[in-house]
Amino acid sequence: MILAQAQPGFLSPTGVEIAFLLVGLVTFGAALVTVTTRQLVHAALWLVVTLGGLAVEYLLLTAEFIAWVQVLIYVGSVVVLLLFGLMLTRAPIGRSPDADSGNRWAALTVAVAAAAALVWVVVDAFRTTWIDLDGPAAGSTKVTGESLFQNWVLPFEALSVLLLAALVGAIVLSRKAKAESSSPPVNARSVTGSSRNVTESSDQEGAR
């Protein structure tokens, strides 16, 4: 008689599962700080912590390749691009009142609805799927590359175009701000011209 293999339960978590939960809580907290802070630079830096926490989660799920891609692309490229755009647009370093649009409740409602839908889809899709955390790595480069460039190539290219558009927009805004700061305002020109005329007329009267 062959005994059925016992399924792991939630009441007997392993060390890896406890570490996964703790890192998830830290990542969730960093994500909350990212979307609630009014300092744009601090938001970008907390985004680094959030994306780094996701990379650690991938490592705990034995998906080493996805973890390093997360670090190289998102932490090493996307966040650097965001900081580069903030520097080009001369974003304020301190607190910025313009960072709050006043639609927090609407944004919170959309975020909660999106999170609930995502959790429901993931739980429904992987309800009976278990990952052997003590076994060999499941996220190999070959399998991940085939899935990425066969099934997810369109979103991948769309994200590349989106990042390129963001960089071009930051450059355009920075050049426009530089042009406006270099040219004197119209009122200053009129005041300068009038003062010059007054000076010339006073010199002519003095010569007479």
Over the stretch 147-174, which tens digit does the pLDDT of each residue have? 777 877 888 788 888 878 877 887 887 7
Please list, residue by residue across 11-44, b when 16 or more beta carbons sit within 10 angstroms of its beta carbon and e when fewer do: eeeeeeeeebeebeeebeebbeebeebebbbebb
Longest dimension (CA), the chain: 126
Q: What is the per-residue pLDDT for 178?
A: 62
What are the tens digits of pLDDT across the range 27-46?
Answer: 999 998 988 887 778 888 89
Rounded to an integer, the average pLDDT of 115-133 is: 80
Distance CA 112, CA 127 (A): 21
HSE of 46 in the Cβ direction (CA atoms, 13 Å)? 18
% the chain with pLDDT above 90: 12
Of the listed ranges 49-53, 132-136, 186-190, the one predicted with least confidence: 186-190
Q: What is the per-residue pLDDT for 3?
A: 44
Please list, residue by residue across 128-161, b when 16 or more beta carbons sit within 10 angstroms of its beta carbon and e when fewer do: eeeeeeeeeebbeeeeeeeeeeeeeeeeeeeeee
Q: What is the per-residue pLDDT for 198?
A: 47
What are the tens digits of pLDDT across the range 128-137?
Answer: 777 665 665 5
Rounded to two decimals, what is the model's pTM?
Answer: 0.56
